[in-house]
Structure 1
Amino acid sequence: MNSSPNEFDIIFGGGGTAACVAAGRLASANPTLRILVLEAGEHTKYEDSHVQPGRYFGHLSPASTTLDFHVGKPSKSLAGRSLVVPSGRCIGGGSSVNFTMYTRASASDYDDWEGQYKNPGWGSKDLLPLLRKTETYQIRPHQPTHGYSGPLKVSWGGHVTNIGDQFLKVAAAIDNDRMYTEDVNDFYECNKYGKWPKCVDILLSLLISLNGVTPRWIDGETGKRSDPAHYYIYNQEANKNLVIRTGQRVKRVIFEGEKAVGLEYVADIALRPDVDQTPQQAYASRLVVLSGGAFGSPAILERSGIGAADLLAKHDVPVKVDLPGVGESFQGKLVSYNFEVNSSDEADTFDALIRGDIAETAKNFDLWMEGGKGLLAANGMDAGIKIRPVAEEDFKELGPDFEERWNEYFVNAPDKPVIWFGPSSFLLGDHTTAPVRKYYSLAYVNEYPVSMGSVHISSGQDPHAPSDFNPAFLNHPADFATLRWGYKKTREIARRMKFYRGEHLPIHPKFSANSNALCNGNSSGPAALDAPNLKYTEDDDRAIDDFHKQFIQTSWHSLGTCAMKPREDGGVVDPRLNVYGTRNLKVAGNRCYFTKSAARARLMNNP
């Protein structure tokens, strides 16, 4: 074992979800390994804001220190907006701050990964055992696609709201084309409504992601967030060979020829602007792993001379490997929220907790401390569906802009959903500008957007410089089509739920005054279950498109910028996660919301 404080066997550049799982598993398997994890953010150990799932709202504040906020270029497709995309900035990364939703890719996604993108060993048959290995599924025993002895717990959480129940009842009454399932994440099916389990973000991808109470990454016995930071890293404190250095931002990879031998890093200035910026070096005798996510990993590669030669020359970075795929193929799933006003005291919502109501916070803190129950042990997202079109009316709504995408990507993969949608038991908006009352929201997410952007460095030397980021959201007409369909489907359910009291008008399409689809800002109650569906004209559809340009957001699920596919096709890493043109350098954790756990497990089995 090396005695120098800066000499290790393996170094991880980034301390997020992937690094916690990979470093933790390696350290557990071989405690003699000297492992270093470098993380720009701070520790999350036993902090209420991280271990209490219901506090995830606090991480969304613009003043948050647990997130990095990446500002995209202004876009005509977004009505001139500069979209802001957050990523985790703390030990555990996104898994320590996210909404704790548990969801997995479809089997065909992994099979595409293996076949279409030429990655042997990454098919569904290979990865399902590894998915099972990460989890303890507390919801139902003896399910063949779930695991029961892994460190991360999956449950319903400590509280289920009546909003999710109402959503499922209405969906069952008005959607005759789809059924209910006890497991919305069984790996092989979609297009069924169900409750949604709770968990944490344990997903990692180098390419593309992809389905009634919703499962959560929450321990059903304790009510605690079940995240890799606590279940892979903090539970190994006795192992002094596993070293975590927080507040450190990786600048570049240190090479000897083609071989990666270490990382250069500087103190992060986000929390300490006046901190000494003298570069430090740490050396790895066996392996360097970049685990900085969709934004951090490509930036480190480019500052190290690995990327498109013309871009590196622009920033005066000597070219080590001309690898044009670095930073390209950025994809982020598009999400919109159909906000509904709810003034009924019967509704069980998070709104008072989010507003910081003292009595509500104290009550739920006591419930959490006494038995892991209450809103702090939940996420308010209790039902949903991974949905795809089946009826003629669905295809008519999606229209010709989506037809090519359907035939190319979905028609022969019946397990692939087009969108996810479900209710949230709170206002998914700015409470400081909204009337004090109860709300619920219907969110819909484009699971496979066509539009792809890019993430590159804006400085060859400064690791704190903002990204040159082009999200490219809504740059393809097929993405508008799926979101229009999502808006209409969710609105029909939302306006029939018994708590409905009209739309929260600032966050809705501006239909004309004589439109049949005109939003109702104040209602005495819901529409009848057998009420006819709203009819939309071409002008209404344009209003919906304009609404999405103005309000579409990211669902945090950024991926693709270090793609795992052949080099000649724009790939950055091979099937064993090795960066092309280098030795002893891998990328892990180029985030993707639905596939991280499997890829991490592959890294562990093939170090």
Structure 2
Amino acid sequence: MEFTRLTALVVVVFAVGYAVFFRYKNKPSLGESIVSDKISDEYDYVIVGAGSAGSILASRLAEDANKSVLLLEAGDHFDYDQNIHIPWMALNFLQSNFAWNYKSETEKGIFLGLKEKRSLLNKGKILGGSSTINACMYARGSPFDFEEWVKKYGCKGWGYDDLLPYFKKTEDIQIPHLKMSEYHGSGGPIAVSNAFYIPLADHFINAGKEMGYMESDYNGKSQTGFSRVQTTARFGVRSSTGFEYLGKRGKRTNLDISVNSLVTKIKTEEKVATGVFFIKHGRKQFVKAKRDIIVSAGAFNSPQLLMLSGIGPKRHLQDLGIPVVQDLPVGKKFDDHITIAISAKINQSVHLDKEKALGLWSLLEYTLFGTGPLSSLSTAAAFLHIDKTKMGKQRPDIMIISLPTTFGDNFFSNYNESVAEELIYRYKNTPAFTGLVSLLHPKAIGSVQLRNTDPFDSPLLDTNHLTDKQDEDDLLSGIRLFEELVSTDAMKSIGADISINQASFCSHYKFRSDDFWRCMIRHIAHNFYHSTSTCKMGMTGDPTAVVDLDLRVQGIKNLRVCDASVFPSVTSANTNAPVMAVAEKFADMLKKERQ
């Protein structure tokens, strides 16, 4: 009898495993059902890019049955690989066909321990964009971020009070104690849930209390403090904009979605955008827009497309032989976070190793209940001030995300093989956790330029990280905060020990000295995939702005941009949540224009 039960269980587990981890064969998927085989010659709205913003805009604009909408996406649909819906699997897709696989240029004095001395700068290339391949952490940023947009950059109408209704509109809060919060919304498309419970999260938050911080809702009144991660997943299924805004609403007669369609140029006639050229199945095509062309191709592809279309810095375009349509500072500002991964060994089984996460019991729990290790990636996070006297007065400087494991692979960090061997592979089966220490507001600003006139080639991406010494000092302060966290009684009780970070390439400095950590920063710090501001918005006539406060490209009619590239500056957290709120607000603005 026991043998029969065991056999039955094994059969169930393997059947479930096949359903979850392998693409369904000969069965139409939700993603396949909403894409269009044929498209028309003309639409009211043409949207370039089906990322976090573009998917929302297409869905909202198509709510008006009298308006036709075309959504062009360079990547495929979100069901091409079923694993993409599993939050834990996010790191597997960072370097895949579902990402643009961009890298920074080789820069002086940084990225020394990375492959080719270049940082990964990946973005999603798939319906839903980066919301389909990210780590599902839902974080809006600090209210002070959006107040700075208004006060420093003159972006009236884009402050925190203006955006809060749209944060709530996107959201379907699944966390019981937050359902009555005035800062959260119910019934929106994007589910926001608690991350899977790992005991390590309790130690992380208790360590924060020892440091003088309370457990907080980082998407509530104050971002500062230690929190359990809020994740964009519904019953363990990734809640991306492509899936929730497009997939669940099904095929609509006035919305065509064309995948594997790379837009190569925007056509303008006497300063009016009239249509776009794109390539699909190896064939060049053209489609007209009666009202607006909306570029939502992301922080790198949006500026690239504008410049290929003659909209950008005059001298740069002339150097490449591109006829100048409009001289604008496209790509002049590239804002992002810089992060460093610091690991800590522990001697208690409060973490999560890869074997446990991908084991049969985990697979069964996830498939039957949508819970368990596969339902989330990060578990807890802290938003901290270097100078505690500024708490409640300014936005945080440092974000620390706790991962309940070491990476085990090199998808995320892009270390060269010798560094990966020392810091990752060696500790693959060691009980440990990782702290991602991020500087939220670097002073140094990067840039995006065209490498050439080939739309299939990657743009030139210069982060300029650490060109301002204050940034290195501040990231060092973030590491010191992580050291303080690890030295608390809450962490000592599980044997937390950061000695595994004694890398040979920095061994000429005393371990944990300022010089040692500066050496580590120069070798293994990298971008955190939160790129913004390359087509920044500002008041009409602002010489540093690409789009005005209505997201119109300055000097060009019927051309808009809506994605992370329009942010005046990067927010104090992951950028997916504010991109969604900006898109929802912009969709409302467009609807009011039609009235």
For the criterion TM > 0.5, the same-fold answer is: yes
Write the mapping of 1:480-491 to structure 2, written as runs, cut at 5 A. 480-491=472-483
Matched, 1:370 2:404: no
Question: Which letter does structure 2 place at the counterpart of 1:185?
Answer: N
Deviations 1:311-359 (A, max 9, x none): 1111111000011x10111011011111123464x233142267xxxxx
Q: In structure 2, what is the Cα distance between the partners aligned to 1:189 and 1:288?
A: 37
CA, structure 1 residues 79+115, in 2 after alignment: closer, same or farther (shift >3 Å)? Answer: closer
> Cα–Cα, structure 1 residues 52 and 215, in superposed 2: closer, same or farther, change >3 Å?
same
Alignment pair present for 1:430 and 2:409: yes
C-alpha distance in structure 1 between counterparts of 2:506 and 2:304, whole Å: 43
Q: Could you list the runs of 4 or more consecutive aligned residues of structure 1 that deviate by over 4 angstroms after TM superposition?
A: 506-515
Matching of residue 141 in structure 1 with residue 172 in structure 2: no
Matching of residue 447 in structure 1 with residue 447 in structure 2: no
| Equivalent residue, structure 1, for 2:49 | 14
Where does residue 357 of structure 1 map in the other structure? none
2:245 is aligned to: 232
Q: Is the 8 A contact 1:458 1:467 kept in 2?
A: yes
**Deviation at 1:491?**
2.2
For residues 258-309 of structure 1, what are the alpha-carbon distances to aligned partners after superposition, in whole Å with 9 as ceiling and x for unaligned?
A: 1111111123xxxxxxx52x32111111110001111000011001000111
Following superposition, the deviation at residue 105 of structure 1 comes to 2.1
User: Structure 2 vs 1, CA of residues 504 and 48 (structure 1 numbering), >3 Å: closer, same or farther?
Assistant: farther
- Asked whether the 8 Å contact 1:494–1:500 carries over to 2, the reply is no
| Mapped contact 1:342–1:499 kept (Cα < 8 A) | yes
In structure 2, the partner of 1:340 is 344
Matches of 1:463 and 1:500, distance apart in 2: 52
Which residue does the alignment assign to 1:192? 225
SS, match of residue 395 in structure 2: coil
Aligned partners of 2:269 and 2:39: how far apart in 1? Answer: 19
2:208/2:214 contact within 8 Å kept: no
- TM-superposed CA distance for 1:508, in Å, is 5.0
Shift of 1:513: 8.0
- Where does residue 40 of structure 1 map in the other structure? 74
Describe the superposition over 1:224-276 as per-residue Cα deviations: whole angstroms up to 9, x where unpaired: 11111111111232312211111111111012221111111123xxxxxxx52
Q: How many residues align?
A: 520
Whether contact under 8 Å (2:407, 2:428) holds in the other structure is no
Tell me how far 1:362 sits from its aligned partner. 3.1
Say whether residues 1:244 and 2:237 are aligned partners. Answer: no
Alignment of 1:20-419 (within 5 A): 20-27=55-62, 29-45=63-79, 47-60=81-94, 62=95, 64-78=96-110, 81-139=117-175, 140-157=178-195, 159-173=196-210, 175-176=211-212, 178-181=213-216, 183-186=217-220, 188-194=221-227, 213-219=228-234, 222-267=235-280, 276=282, 278-323=283-328, 325-342=329-346, 344=348, 346-352=349-355, 360-379=358-377, 381-391=378-388, 414-419=393-398
Match of 1:395 in 2: none
Specify the code of the residue in structure 1 equivalent to 2:223.
Answer: C
Give, in whole Å, the separation in 2 of the partners of 1:548 and 1:541: 10
Once the two structures are overlaid, the 10-residue window that deviates more, 485-494 or 283-292, is 485-494
Say yes or no: does 1:469 pair with 2:458: no
| 1:47 to partner: Cα distance | 4.4
Unaligned runs of 5+ in 2: 1-37, 411-423, 591-595
Matched to 1:362, the amino acid is: L
Aligned residue identity for 2:185: G
Partner letter of residue 192 of structure 2?
A: V
What is the root-mean-square deviation in Å for CA atoms of aligned residues? 2.3
Aligned to 1:532: none
- Which residue matches 2:413? none
Alpha-carbon offset, residue 415 of structure 1? 4.4
Gaps of 5+ in 1: 195-212, 268-274, 355-359, 393-410, 519-535
Is 503-512 or 84-93 further displaced after alignment?
503-512
Whether the 8 Å CA contact 1:335–1:445 is kept in 2: the answer is: yes
Q: Distance in 1 between matches of 2:426 and 2:254?
A: 51
Match of 1:531 in 2: none
Give 3-state SS (helix, strand or coil) of 2:144's partner. helix
Contact 1:420 1:445 survives alignment (8 Å): yes
8 A contact 2:224–2:391 mirrored in 1: no
Amino acid at match of 1:23: A
Distance 2:106 2:508 in 1: 31
- The residue matched to 1:78 in structure 2 has which SS? coil
- Inter-partner Cα distance in structure 1 for 2:546 and 2:90: 33
Larger helix proportion of the pair: 2
TM score, norm. by length of structure 2:
0.83
What amino acid does structure 2 have at the position aligned with 1:383? A
8 Å contact 1:338–1:491 — kept in the other structure? no
Indicate how the Cα distance of structure 1 residues 512 and 305 shifts in structure 2: closer, same or farther if over 3 A, else same.
closer
Task: Find the counterpart in structure 2 of residue 396 from structure 1.
Answer: none
- 1:429 shift after superposition: 5.6
Aligned partners of 1:109, 1:509: CA distance in 2, in Å? Answer: 39
User: Is the contact between residue 251 and residue 263 of structure 1 (CA under 8 Å) also seen in structure 2?
Assistant: yes
Amino acid at match of 2:483: R
- Cα deviations by residue, 1:27-68 (Å, 9 ceiling, x for unpaired): 1x21332211111111003843222111112113x4x11111
Which amino acid counterpart does residue 128 of structure 1 have in structure 2? Answer: L
